[in-house]
Structure 1
Amino acid sequence: MEKYATITFLGASGVVTGSKFLVETSELNILIDCGMFQGLKELRKINWQALAVDVSAIDMVLLTHGHLDHVGYLPRLVMQGFKGKIIGTAPTLAIAEIILRDSAKIHEEEAQKANKEQYTKHHPALPYYRLEDVEKTLRLFQVSKENKWISIADHISYRMQYNGHIIGAVFIELDILGKKFVFSGDIGRRKDYLLREPMRPEWADYLCIESTYGDKLHPKEDIEAKLATLIKETIHNQGNLIIPSFAVERLQTLMFILWELYKKNKIPNIPIFIDSPMGNNVLDVFNRFSKWHKLSPEAYKAMLHHFNIVSSYRETWETIDDKRSKIIIAGSGMVTGGRVLTYLQQLIDEPTTTVLLVGYQAEGTRGRQLKDGAHEIKFFGKYYPVKAKIESIESLSAHADQEDLLHWMGTIKNIPEKVFLIHGEPAALDAFRVKIKETFSWNVHIPKLHEVEKIRL
């Protein structure tokens, strides 16, 4: 009797966010990643829908890394009846715990605020999930070793291999009856300030590869020179430099660069405030898992001493009231929530303010609106004029660009039966499809949301 596997594309299909891929076999049903959709309202609405599969039949979740668009749907999965294992590397599970707790807290606070100030169409507004839902989810976490094949059924095993991008990130290889299924997760860059070069797959019968920058090469800009210039301008203008930042990796990278600039006497000793409760917890993860990054424990501790870590909301307001020129690094990176909203609400209408965007800005986010030149921006139900100077640094992205993606694929020895392009916006997906066909002559497909691929084993 012929045996089959199916892949159902439950997210990150035709879009960047919401990574979820269900692999069903006669032995096990495995969900690769379990992320939330972010950005456009029609995408965020999907988050509230029940998953379009039988959740109770899913045996386990394998996580590539801990970002919200890869783990943020986990509590909803558990709410819908999932009782299996949630497996990832130790740093990935540590990051996922921080991100899920933070996410639940934000959802609860936003629902409370919306109900109190009545700027919601929903009566009452409900949180997407609560801290108690996160606690139930965390009980299912199980740490996996990396770079080792682990058997999970008679004819199925998996391996997680170091992938850069963020601390703990891996790509996942599934061996099902001798066929290799490779899920890239998010691929890091070959030259990263803090992380080692990603490992690369050697065999892939079926490859799902991210395409976030499938149509782009990261610009060869001098990040340190640009930062130094913006900091000097901020001091000259007696203003504030606000950097919305992702709490995982980007925050730590920015801290490292600013610390290096100061040590090299390229910037003066300007006060730098780190206001990201989640980011502060991630700093502890870096401390605990030093083998996953380049910094020695001694260098890491020395770097931390250079920054003012904001630990309470009261200190946020004290920082805003501080009249000195300063740098503020605060979450979130796409300006979708977090402490950065409080700073921008107070300071975005000041011409002496500079907002520096340092990562990918998904369609539909406030970060993308600012980058695209919006003259006003909405926070907490009200519009605020944008008089601040908006700058961006493209090349600080934690994602591989097109050149890095092709390099990552370059060690695959066989010709894959099919390559699926995921985790990209339409233009990036199509450009990358053409490039792969030109470079490798491989069979490339761009799956749609909820598409099902049946594969003979």
Structure 2
Amino acid sequence: MDKIKIHFLGASGTVTGSKFYIETPESNIMVDCGMFQGLKELRQLNWKPLPINTSKINVVLLTHGHLDHTGYLPRLVKEGFGGKIIGTAPTLAITKIILMDSAKIHEEEAEQANAEGYSKHHPALPFYTVKEAENTIDFFQSEPKDKWITISENIRFKFKYNGHIIGATFIELEIFGKLFVFSGDIGRTEDLLLSSPECPKWADYLFIESTYGNKLHPQENVDDLLIELINKTIREKGNLIIPSFAVERLQSLMYTLWSLFKKNKIPNIPIFIDSPMGNNVLSVFERFPDWHKLPIKEYHAMCHHFNIISSYADTWKTIDDPRPKIVIAGSGMVTGGRVLTYLKQLIDEVSTTVLLVGYQAEGTRGRQLLEGAHELKLFGKYHPIKATIKHIESLSAHADQNELLHWINAIKNIPETVFLIHGEPLALDAFRSKIKDVHGWHIHIPKLNEVREFLI
């Protein structure tokens, strides 16, 4: 009797770094290949070679394009991977944008650290370069959703629509007749721009994200909250800074603000979009209209309403602009990107409001702001926080506990094992108890680098 092994190389006991390596007698497969973010001890794991022979991986399957699911790909190639990297067409378009932007940031941060001498490493090196990101893109191969794709004689997979961000899917991976279902990140049942996620009907082994496994999203009136903050910004002649993920959150925010303006609920306050990656993602919405709900005519009208910043020089012009304004800039967890420049200059002003609009992983600057930090370290120096910090949790692109349960309720069989992944310890344990109470299924919470064997 043959066996397969699954290596939990990321998103195990933590939210980020999603990587699952499956060894089989016919082919070796990796599902997602993300970077760790957040806590320093997690980020340091990115620099360690994987505890597997990467040259033996035949194929990488991507659930979606976010950095914590794709950001390790250039390192994988550098370590010897030479197979195919497969995702839906919009997922690969997003992944290309994210990898190129990430590589540029890695290079710029290393250069700045060396110039200003605030790195402990001499010299500071980029995690990967633009050239290495470009080399990775050569391995991309797109496949449609809802179609079985053969990997080998007894192994095939199918992408299924999952909401969350454009192009995102869950993966049904059939290995010698057993169905392994990898949820990726599950979207919301009610989303401004995307349809509701589809649900799996069968799973012998289920690998499900648990980001909000212990929470329900609050029933907030997002429009009213934004109107209130915008009016406050105008009254105080201040700045409303919104750190935003470039994929999906940025586009949702743009659409919400555009809709409020069209309905005369907010004045024509200057709104600056300072996210080169986000600007590129907008073009993906234009290229793949079947993957979202935003009509193209509305898309163009919306884009013309905003001040789209492309150059870093314009970032500084925006900071110096004395008018009350809204700035939406990456990154969403305040881990990098141009939002750091705005915060460095403006976070010590009482007229500044920082609005957090998504999940803030443990160890990120966004989580520090959320938890009431009195200072923030930016570019090697501490800056006092005098700005007002606000949070709109209901704009999250992740399903909450009820939506996660709804997603698995469609499964008709009893899975042999449900693996809870992509969550912090409290969320994982709460979701384990909830599934146990509702379904009575066998649940396992894998540890990082754990290996499980399955007989087939």
Equivalent runs, 1:259-274 vs 2, <5 Å = 259-274=258-273
Letter in 2 for 1:96: T
- What's the CA shift for 1:291? 0.6
**Match of residue 337 from structure 2:** 338
Matched, 1:195 2:194: yes
SS of match in other structure, 1:384: strand
Instruction: Find the aligned partners of 2:120 and 2:310 in 1 and give their Cα distance.
Output: 33
Letter in 2 for 1:137: T
- What's the CA shift for 1:311? 1.1
Instruction: Find the aligned partners of 1:407 and 1:271 in 2 and give their Cα distance.
Output: 40
**Match of residue 19 from structure 1:** 18
Structure 1 window deviating more from structure 2 (58-67 vs 144-153): it is 144-153
**Match of residue 412 from structure 2:** 413
Equivalent runs, 1:308-347 vs 2, <5 Å = 308-347=307-346
- What's the CA shift for 1:456? 1.3
**Match of residue 446 from structure 1:** 445
Equivalent runs, 1:1-400 vs 2, <5 Å = 2-400=1-399
Instruction: Find the aligned partners of 2:88 and 2:47 in 1 and give their Cα distance.
Output: 28
Letter in 2 for 1:102: D
- What's the CA shift for 1:275? 0.2
- What's the CA shift for 1:454? 0.6
SS of match in other structure, 1:142: strand
- What's the CA shift for 1:286? 0.6
SS of match in other structure, 2:237: coil
Instruction: Find the aligned partners of 1:270 and 1:116 in 2 and give their Cα distance.
Output: 38
Letter in 2 for 1:43: L
Q: Deviations over 1:364-398 (max 9, x none)?
A: 10000011111110101101000000000010000
Q: Deviations over 1:233-279 (max 9, x none)?
A: 10001101000000000000000000111111111110100000000
- What's the CA shift for 1:5? 1.4
Runs of 4+ residues over 6 Å off in structure 1: none
SS of match in other structure, 1:412: coil
Instruction: Find the aligned partners of 2:134 and 2:261 in 1 and give their Cα distance.
Output: 41
Q: Deviations over 1:391-425 (max 9, x none)?
A: 00010000000000000001101000000000000
SS of match in other structure, 2:285: helix
Instruction: Find the aligned partners of 2:23 and 2:158 in 1 and give their Cα distance.
Output: 18
Q: Deviations over 1:35-71 (max 9, x none)?
A: 0000000000000000110101110100000000000
- What's the CA shift for 1:152? 1.1
Q: Deviations over 1:117-139 (max 9, x none)?
A: 11111111111000111111000
Letter in 2 for 1:230: L
- What's the CA shift for 1:177? 1.2
Q: Deviations over 1:266-321 (max 9, x none)?
A: 11110100000000000000110111000111111111111000111111111111
Instruction: Find the aligned partners of 1:123 and 1:353 in 2 and give their Cα distance.
Output: 36
SS of match in other structure, 2:90: helix
- What's the CA shift for 1:213? 0.1
- Unmatched tracts of structure 2, length 5 or more: none
Instruction: Find the aligned partners of 2:43 and 2:310 in 1 and give their Cα distance.
Output: 30
SS of match in other structure, 1:33: strand
Instruction: Find the aligned partners of 1:192 and 1:140 in 2 and give their Cα distance.
Output: 32
SS of match in other structure, 2:377: strand
TM-score, with length taken from structure 1: 0.99
TM-score, with length taken from structure 2: 1.00
SS of match in other structure, 1:430: helix
User: What fraction of aligned residue pairs are identical, expressed as a percent?
Assistant: 69
- Unmatched tracts of structure 1, length 5 or more: none
Instruction: Find the aligned partners of 2:290 and 2:428 in 1 and give their Cα distance.
Output: 34
Instruction: Find the aligned partners of 1:242 and 1:66 in 2 and give their Cα distance.
Output: 25
Instruction: Find the aligned partners of 1:140 and 1:198 in 2 and give their Cα distance.
Output: 28
SS of match in other structure, 2:294: coil
SS of match in other structure, 1:260: helix
Q: How many residues align?
A: 456
- What's the CA shift for 1:189? 0.4
RMSD between aligned residues: 0.5
- What's the CA shift for 1:441? 0.6
